[in-house]
Structure 1
Amino acid sequence: DRHDEVKANFEAELTELIHDHFNPPSIIMWVPFNEGWGQYETGRIVDLTRSLDASRPINEASGWTDNGFGDIKDIHNYPEPAAPPAEENRAIVLGEFGGLGLVTPGHMWQEENWGYEKMQDINSLIEKYEDFYQEIFRMVENPGLSAVIYTQTTDVETETNGLMTYDRAQVKMGIEQVLKAHQGKIPPRINAKTLQFTATFEAELVSPVPEAIIRYTTDGSDPIASSPVYSQPLTFKEPTTIRTVAEFPDGTSSRVASYTIKKVTPAPAVSASAKPGIRVSFYEGNWNKLPDFATLKPSRSTMTGKPDLSYARTDKHFGLVFEGYLDVPTTGVYMIYLASDDGGRIYLDENQLIDYDGIHGANERFAPVALEAGLHPFKLIYFQREGGLGLSVSWEGPGIPKSEITPAFWKN
């Protein structure tokens, strides 16, 4: 229950806000509450808002606490888009989604930064953004999504999830790329988990628009009207760069996408006498990023079945170091996935493979690596400050669908 004075002040300010901003045509709707903050007597506040301006739709609360009033059903979902069930008398809206973070050195408020999902580079950001809008187009058809709002237009201090940098100096993906994504003008993709190969690589080009004509080149030039039309998978035995574009029935085209296919030599396995399990060491500390664990003394150590948080026995201010071997069953190219909250880093064969440092939510980083069958030295360092937490290591490779790496493959 809220004091009458607080309610009266809120309603007086709401009334003045609507009176002051009644005329601007850029105001689409009134939204009295956001995500439940300070929300009270929702039905009465909707009635008050409508009495002040009946010409605009009313969104009772953007995100979270919906009581069935007003003209809009609004949800928030991060990072991927989602839609609430269709309603007979209210439009359904995705009031917030996205939050894809990208670090832009020289254009940031400070080094410590945050995003709902941190992207590894510009290309992965563009592709994820395009994928999100492809999903939105499907939701427009079913269940009938009426509007979406991406988080957010610019970086805001420590938040690096803007379309523009904090200083507004850069549009991270480029204005044309963002526009084409909003129009559904998506370039062809290579239907493969990784662009690395050891012997031969089969490149299957796919477009989300079945009627699109796919053109490509392999000489480093951009595709033009006379470039080859893709009709069947392309097979390569040497490193190649494929540049490709989709031409649509309305005469427009996508951006040009570039894919570099790399031929790699599998890292050799090591000869060692190995037993089941991986060593884990626990450290106490309050960090904003991964410390140099080599200079610290662990509080305790033991053998465990796999890299996870079971040995932590707490939910804040700690670090873990896992050391042992990854026992690879078959020679080939593998995709290794690190899901962590907060920061983590993987070393494989004494080389840094994945760096997901810093304070962030539970998201995933991944990297391809070619491995010979057998034992490979593995090290994972991790820290948790406070709040949400999580840690897992997964893989995907020859005969293995994406799955968490089970204790059978961890050795010491």
Structure 2
Amino acid sequence: METLTISLIVIIGLFAFLAAGMWVGLSLFAAALAGMYFYGNDAFGNIYATSTWGAISSWSLTALPLFIWMGEILFRTRLAEDLFKGLSPWLQRIPGKLLHVNIISCGIFAAVSGSSAATAATIGKMTLPELRKRGYSDKMAVATLAGSGTLGLLIPPSIILIVYGVAAEVSIARLFIAGILPGLLLVSLFMGFTMIWSAVNKNKLTTTHAADEPPPESLSFKAKIKQTASLIPVVALITFVLGSIYGGLTTTIEAAAFGVLGALVLSLLTGTLSKKTFMDSLMGATKTSCMIALILAGAAFLTTAMAFLGLPNMLATMIAELNLSTFMLLLALTGLFIFLGCFLDGISVVVLTTSVVLPMISQSGIDLLWFGIFIVLVVEMSQITPPVGFNLFVIQGLTGKDLWYIAKAALPFFLLILLAVLLIILFPEIVTFLPEQMTTN
């Protein structure tokens, strides 16, 4: 059977397995097994063992379950409640007012969870009922949460950046640092749009006047500081984790371990650490880590199968013969990643495509560090793209709204992320500046 025919069988089989509702990791295994069988390679057992073990036994992946556990611990504290309470007094005079709590809270929580879905779910549980109670536009409340929830993929410590770093053999510490400025850029774009929308649509900002919302002048500066004090320990923990990496004091794995220790201490001090919450956080981190490990193992097996078929080299040769410019290549990849993101979660998109895409990227002279942030930004867009945008499902579960209603509300934020992608293409220094400073120092 011809290589091209077998490759088509593998690709069609993969999407058929996914459409049937099979787990992503198992779908990758099944597609790879089919490819090896039709190729006539009967040593797939040994190949499976060596490829999967190599994919999930990398020392760099040790940071992954630690950062996930840190997020799980903080998820069970009063962090979300403290975020709303601590930020709301400072936002009363800004156009959009408490809608910005969604954006800033997601930015802060993203730095402790590393997960888009966890960020949207945790912040949404706290902010959406409060915003609804105070009469804020339901559509904008949903939109700001959907868009800002994607920050969990980018703002370090990001789970997907760890996965990409291992796959592309790029320094995870440098990737974390590279994600800071693009993350702040997205927060600025989201807040700027919310301010402009609120200024233009003053009558749509709130549907009612909430008597329980204190006027801006009701709190003194001292009272605002006191109300925000509960956020200081969490912000200090985030600063320490990232600062120790940036300053070269710790490796990424050591910083993750300190992050877990700090989260346990904060949980103990706030009175939320108990045997139940400890075990729940541990089991939550274990389940998530095992899910990611299964996807990584399946992707490694599929990558090996495709290598036997020669698919990556064939695609790279085909694209090279098209003589695409760097911009056109990135444009084509943007479309590919958004399409895949309509059916797969972000981590699956990254591990499934890196073996095929990275040779083309290297051949085009594109910095793999920069490309890591690029791919995460594009995957962020897919998180709010129907029919399988993960954040859309999370918010649908919180609000009960129709999926297309949420997708339509989130469309401006989809376009803002696209704008951020264009900005880092035009000004790559947004991504590379801080890692270069890290190297210099």
With normalisation by structure 2, the TM-score equals 0.24
Of structures 1 and 2, the larger Rg is shown by 1
More helix by share: 2
By relative contact order (CA 8 Å, sep 6+), the higher-ranking structure is 2
More strand by share: 1
